[in-house]
Homo-oligomer: A and B are copies of this chain.
Amino acid sequence: MSAQHPSNAVNFCQACAVRNRAICADLDREEIELLNAIGRRKTISPGEQLLWEGDEAVFVANVIHGILKLSTHSAEGKEQILGLAYPSDFLGRPFGSTTPYSVEALTEVQVCLFQRADFDRFAREHPRLEHKLLERTLTELDRTRRWMLLLGRMNAEQKLASFLLETADRLQPATCSFVAEGDASVIELPLTRQQIADVLGLTIETVSRQFSRMKNEGLIAIPSRRGVELRDRQRLEVIAI
């Protein structure tokens, strides 16, 4: 537990990995001090849960590093993953009473955690923060709506191609593993096959079959369980459109 007492707290924000990308980016030195005082760092292990769907909304958080999944369940217990959260993303539901989805760490994760009440108060008093949060929420809404097209109108092949391309894009800035040949790139999937199925609204068997098919067609290579090499980005893009 890395809780900090404001009085003698180090100012973590100064050296924060997402200082320039998260919603706190536009705050000045003084504001950062205040925000630093109400937040605390927390480390979460893969599989650990941070927020519970339906719970009273007590916490909000910034992702500093690692990847988390946001998910909900149908009545029959089928999971639907609503999205993934990457570094600098914001988690939780400010200005609301209940958390609308569960949040679970997929990798080793570090977040900057706030009591929602503290955060709400701070946000209302600092329009620059609210503005950043608004921009981020609007972007997230755009992304979520694009995902609706995937869920509603794509077949399994298109869904997996889209997923691989988007994952590669979102992983890029984090890993910074640029390859000289523009085409080939290896990514480390943050999800199991089952979780990929839950993202795409498919079953694990269908996902596995699509992986095999793409491998046989030379679209991808599968060096390890979690590793995927996009061997033919162009054709993947044509499939995903």
Q: Cβ of A96: which chain B residues have Cβ within 8 Å of it?
A: 138-139, 142
Q: Identify which of A43-51, A75-83, A176-184, A211-219 touches chain B.
A: A75-83
Whether a CB of chain B sits under 8 angstroms from the CB of A152 is: yes
How extensive is the interface on chain A, given as a class?
35 or more
Q: Cβ of A148: which chain B residues have Cβ within 8 Å of it?
A: 80, 82, 144, 147-148, 151
Q: Are B75 and A146 in touch, CB under 8 angstroms?
A: no
Which of A94, A131, A133, A134 has most chain B Cβ within 10 Å? A134
A79 to B152, CA, bound (A): 9
Would A154 and B74 be within 8 Å (CB), given that A144-B141, A149-B80 are in contact?
yes
Whether a CB of chain B sits under 8 angstroms from the CB of A124 is: yes
Q: Mark A58-91, 1 if CB is under 8 A from B, else 0.
A: 0000000000001010110010101100000000
Whether a CB of chain B sits under 8 angstroms from the CB of A93 is: yes
Would A130 and B138 be within 8 Å (CB), given that A148-B80, A201-B153 are in contact?
no
Whether a CB of chain B sits under 8 angstroms from the CB of A137 is: yes
A138 to B147, CA, bound (A): 17
Q: Are B141 and A137 in touch, CB under 8 angstroms?
A: yes
Nearest B-chain residue to A239, judged by Cβ:
B75
Q: Cβ of A82: which chain B residues have Cβ within 8 Å of it?
A: 145, 148-149
Q: Cβ of A146: which chain B residues have Cβ within 8 Å of it?
A: 72, 100
Nearest B-chain residue to A127, judged by Cβ:
B127
User: Can you list 13 pairs linking A and B with CB atoms under 8 Å apart?
Assistant: A75-B241, A80-B153, A83-B145, A93-B142, A94-B138, A96-B138, A96-B139, A100-B145, A130-B130, A140-B141, A147-B148, A151-B151, A151-B152
